[in-house]
Chains A and B, each alone.
Chain A
Amino acid sequence: MSQMETQTTTGETEEQIRDEWLEYDFEGESALSVEDLDVFYGNDQALQSISMDVPEKSVTALIGPSGCGKSTFLRCLNRMNDRIDAARVEGTVEFDGENIYDDDVNLVELRKRIGMVFQSPNPFPKSIRENISYGPRKHGDIDTGLVARLLGRDDRDEEEELVERCLRGAALWDEVHDRLDDNALGLSGGQQQRLCIARALAVSPDVLLMDEPASALDPIATSKIEDLVEELAEEYTVVIVTHNMQQAARISDQTAVFLTGGELVEYGDTDQIFENPQSQRVEDYITGKFG
């Protein structure tokens, strides 16, 4: 059969996923390498045997309709799914030559190197400065506490330098530099989200996972986040989940399309996915026929 299509009982054509749609050749190193990843929530399978390589220092977009498992996939990459009791993950994710699902993996170290930005801004109810220095403080890289100061260690200068660098990195410095001690919850939604990005940058990650970071924001805030994502890709590997296809087309270098049922259907160069998809279902999805 040249078309590789089978008839389902309902009479609709159901397409088989083909391996060559998933083969994406890129130059350079891969930051993450996913192999046969299955995820189950209780008895429901949320992801079906996903394999893909994520090239470093680029933007990889994960798109697909609601419930297709793209966020689940993202949360597998820094093992945030461990926090959901019912979730079970099988398969491997290789990062820096190591399978992150090995038993001896240090989750603290892993999440330090693979940062995450969530769908709704979730700053801590602390000052802007404390939000940025939260990670480094927890890792012992910055200490301005009384005990440390009595022991002759005072990282306040380092903290200032870090806060400015991260806020500049997240394009927020100009808006907040004169009120670093204000509560972060007083910022607008877009500013809060950029603060969350700055906060993630503060622990110097290699990879940044972003779960629909602009979905709760207005258009102006969204375009600021989009510009920022493109800039970040010069230094970081960015994997971004979005349900906004225009957004994916605008900012990503490569795109992976997930469809209902937790399948990765097609993965390739963003231009190619949006202009000339191989899969009929992906074409239907992108042209808005379903999903």
Chain B
Amino acid sequence: MSGASTTQAISRSFGELDWPARIAGLVGALSLIAAFAAFIVEPGAVVFPALVFVAVALYGWFAHQAETARSLTFLATASTLVILGVITVYLFVKAVPILRQMGASLLTSAVWDVHGGRYGLVTMMWGTLVTTIIATLVSAPLGVAGAVFISEIAPKSVREAVKPAIELLAGIPSIVYGYIGFVVINSYMMDLFRLPTNGSLFIVGLVIGVMALPTVVSVSEDALNAVPNAMKDGSVALGSTDWQTTKSVSVPAAISGISAAVILGVGRALGETMAATVILANVTQLPEPLYDVFGNTITLTSAIASQYGVAAGRPTQLSALFAAGVVLFVVVLALSVVSQTIERRMQQTLGGDQ
């Protein structure tokens, strides 16, 4: 493991240091441990070891900058991983009580009975599934078509202007999308289809699909760009047109990267909270009939966002919401692993002959 070799490198450089520096290193490490201990035992006392640590770091920075930088960057990386690990463990631990109470029916029951204390996640999983499918149907075709245009068809000047602009879309806060979805699209749709209720899965899917677009466009475009020019030249030199080259060489060669882009976009859609929370009425009830996309239900994310406050006094409900978090976490993690694997495989296939 590279972690072990980093530790070795740090301890080796520790051995080369003079005595004041070794003492400083030791004091720094001890003060860090003391700070953590104080945080658990007596939070008010954290400030003292923390100050010692800052003093040691400052001394180290001026006396032995390279060693200090190495230790501090290692520390930063290590604490990132530790924090992530702690959150993950916490998430799973908190979901255990409800799993113990409900067993498998946690994942198979649509009952969400706050007063009876019985919780099943099917309603929200259904809501997430439907919105994600709609979002994918919106973002995949639009995003891939946009990427093909930017990468293969548009002149260079257009590409240079449009690509950053699309990536900028990703910077718009999701609450803005949600708000626009609720204020503009929702009222428009209610008029258009004479819908009885506010908010619907369809609008949420639409808005999330638009939000996922920049990801899909940007990653697909990268994939298309990664197709070697020599390959495209080979097609053109056989007398095929630019469009034939795009259709039969570039897109097939980039197809795994493009699917990775779509999966990444789906992952984004799954985890999106704000749009769903703002637009949906968040009733914990399956739409009637089930396929009614203009119906109103709840998603995994909006369940957590809309119920954590009222659930504060009910440990079982809190635990059920954590279970919703676990389901999201696992699915998004799986999607992310799949998309990264696909992308790596594409690079291997295309990189083999370069």
Contacts and interface: CB of A to CB of B under 8 A. Distances in A.
B230 A125 contact: no
Interface string A199-240: 110010000000000000000000000000000000000000
Interface in B176-196: none
B235 A78 contact: no
A115 interface: yes
Contacts of A78: 237
A185 B233 contact: no
A120 B230 contact: yes
B239 A203 contact: yes
Nearest to B253: A125
Interface of A: 78, 80, 83, 85, 107-112, 115-116, 118, 120-126, 134-135, 138-139, 185, 189, 192, 196, 199-200, 203
B230 A111 contact: no
Contacts of A125: 231, 252-253, 349-350
A126 B235 CA distance: 12
Given A85-B156, A185-B349, A185-B353, A124 B249 contact: yes
18 contacts: A78-B237, A80-B233, A80-B236, A85-B156, A111-B238, A115-B238, A116-B237, A121-B353, A123-B353, A124-B249, A126-B252, A138-B238, A138-B241, A138-B248, A189-B353, A196-B234, A200-B238, A203-B238
B230 A122 contact: yes
Q: Is the interface of A mostly helix, strand, loop or mixed?
A: helix
Interface string B224-236: 0000101101111
Interface of B is mostly: helix
A83 B235 contact: no
Interface of B: 156, 228, 230-231, 233-241, 244, 248-249, 252-253, 349-350, 352-354
A246 B354 CA distance: 26
A78 B234 CA distance: 12
Nearest to A138: B240
A285 B239 CA distance: 36
A138 B244 contact: yes
B237 A80 contact: yes
A110 B239 CA distance: 7
A196 B231 CA distance: 11
B239 A185 contact: no
A195 to B, nearest CB: 11
B239 A118 contact: no
Contacts of A124: 231, 234-235, 248-249, 253
A200 B238 CA distance: 6
A75 to B, nearest CB: 9
A83 B244 CA distance: 15
A226 B231 CA distance: 23
A192 B354 CA distance: 12
Interface centre among B237, B239, B248, B353 (most CB of A within 10 A): B237
A149 to B, nearest CB: 19
Nearest to A202: B238
B239 A139 contact: yes
Given A122-B230, A126-B252, A138-B248, A108 B353 contact: no
Contacts of B234: 118, 122-124, 196, 199
A111 B236 contact: yes
B353 A111 contact: no
A181 to B, nearest CB: 16
